[in-house]
Amino acid sequence: MYEFVRGPLALIAFLIFFVGMIYRTIKYIRGLDWQADRVAYTAHFSYGLKGALRSILYWLIPYGTHSWRYYKVFTLIFFTFHVGLLITPIFLLGHNILLKESWGFSLPTLPEAVADTLTVLVIIAGIFMILRRIALPEVRIITTAYDYLILAIALAPFVTGFLAYHQAPTYNFWLIAHILAGEIMLVAIPFTKLSHFILFFLTRAQLGMDYGIKRGGMKGKGLAW
């Protein structure tokens, strides 16, 4: 079972992930109304590029936008969750050992204590985000079972990985569960809200470019927007 989930099943999961995200990216870009904004984008591209980069940068910095500063506690938890969610799997020592064995290369790795701490922080932040959806009426009213499912898919690899790393009883079970949970998340990313880890950059770039052109590029041109 271990060899199957680590080998063929893992390859299938990564294939679905990469092909799916390439498709989602192309679909998003092709879905933009380039023809309608062609003149503005061509004539004021430098303003648009600055706006796109500014928009992405400010949303990537904690408290870099008015929204982040307004929800101070949630912003801290949100960034903790997402930073740990991205960094830990990529730079985990165990994952890079497997990467070296399978593909002949590896990435820099985090100290095990740091990775373990990030794992715990991701789990705590994820639980807080679930409780927030339950406790706050304004959030609960727009929350569906789908939202809880997405959080569960994101948290499962960390919970199972933590238990496997700390040699919980039935270690083999937790190890296989961890691998399966990671593969489920990979497969789910292109088809769910989890795809925003890539689409975020595209949407922020689009909004920032539009704002940069209309606020900067049109200034002094006698045009009303």
The DSSP call for residue 143 is -
Beta carbons within 8 Å of 96's beta carbon, 6+ residues apart? 106, 107, 109
Is the pLDDT reported for residue 31 higher than 50? Answer: yes
Contact 155, 126 (CB under 8 A): yes
- What digits encode the pLDDT tens for the residues 192-205? 999 988 888 888 87
**Quick one: average pLDDT of 120-134?**
95
With bands split at pLDDT 50, 70 and 90, how would you rate the model's confidence at 215? low
Contact 116, 165 (CB under 8 A): yes
- Percent of the chain at pLDDT above 70? 86
Nearest to 132 by CA among 183, 66, 71: 71
- What digits encode the pLDDT tens for the residues 177-192? 999 999 999 999 999 9
**Quick one: average pLDDT of 166-171?**
91
**Quick one: average pLDDT of 141-147?**
94
Contact 111, 87 (CB under 8 A): no
Neighbours of 24 (CB within 10 A): 17
Residue 214 is predicted with a pLDDT of 64
CA-to-CA distance for 217 and 211, rounded, in angstroms? 9
Domains of the chain: 2-24+34-217 (1.20.950)
Residue 222 is predicted with a pLDDT of 37
CA-to-CA distance for 81 and 93, rounded, in angstroms? 20
Residue 157 is predicted with a pLDDT of 96
CA distances to 28, 38, 180, 212, 225 from 61, in Å? 25, 31, 32, 19, 29
Is the pLDDT reported for residue 47 higher than 70? Answer: no
- What digits encode the pLDDT tens for the residues 75-104? 999 999 999 999 999 999 888 888 888 778
Contact 211, 54 (CB under 8 A): no
What the block records as the tokens of 192 is: 């769910």
CA-to-CA distance for 8 and 46, rounded, in angstroms? 46
